Amino acid sequence: MKFLWIPESHFNLANLFTFVNIAAGLMATYNITQNNFVFAIILAWIGGAFDIFDGKIARKYKLSNDFGIQLDSFADFLSFVLVPVFLIFQAVYATQLDGFTLFLASVTSIFYVISGLRRLIHFNLHADVGEVDKFFTGVPTPLGAILLWLVYLTNAYEFFSAFTVLVLMAVIAWSLNSTLKVPHP
């Protein structure tokens, strides 16, 4: 079990937490395809919890490495970009929109995915192993996902229309690569 504490190990403790995040994201995706939206959201939140702890464990036990940075961004892309966009598309757009507005929702969803991916790649290219800035420039993908979950809930409880969800998704997508300063927790 020594490999758990070796920074160079692809299966160190921090990376194992990231693998759980990935597994939760994959299971959430499957549940979305089965229209089990509540269970998918629970799995996504479990993935989010493991995302918080993987970074804390990596910093506390000095397990950070380039592999872990790449792995974490892959997990973030799955759990905090693809899963919430797929959920909103399946639960909101596909059931409440048609014609041109459904096409517009498709374009907006792709814009969000590309924005999230661009943000994560940019982060990876500028990340220093073991370093944490005081502020994020632009909304980080986990916060973007939380905002999308809130937007989804406003539609589920009939506060916002599907078109309003579409507009808010576009705004959140833009904010991922904006110059907004967001404090690092």
- Going from N- to C-terminal start, the domains of the chain cover 2-183
Q: Which tens digit of pLDDT belongs to each residue from 141-184?
A: 999 999 999 999 999 999 999 999 999 999 999 999 999 999 88
Contact 14, 64 (CB under 8 A): yes
**Which alpha helices (DSSP H) does the chain contain, by range?**
13-33, 37-60, 66-77, 83-88, 94-96, 99-126, 141-156, 162-176
Q: Which residue type, as a one-letter code, is found at position 76?
A: D
Q: Which tens digit of pLDDT belongs to each residue from 16-41?
A: 999 999 999 999 999 999 999 999 99
Which fold is adopted by the domain 2-183? Four Helix Bundle (Hemerythrin (Met), subunit A) (1.20.120)
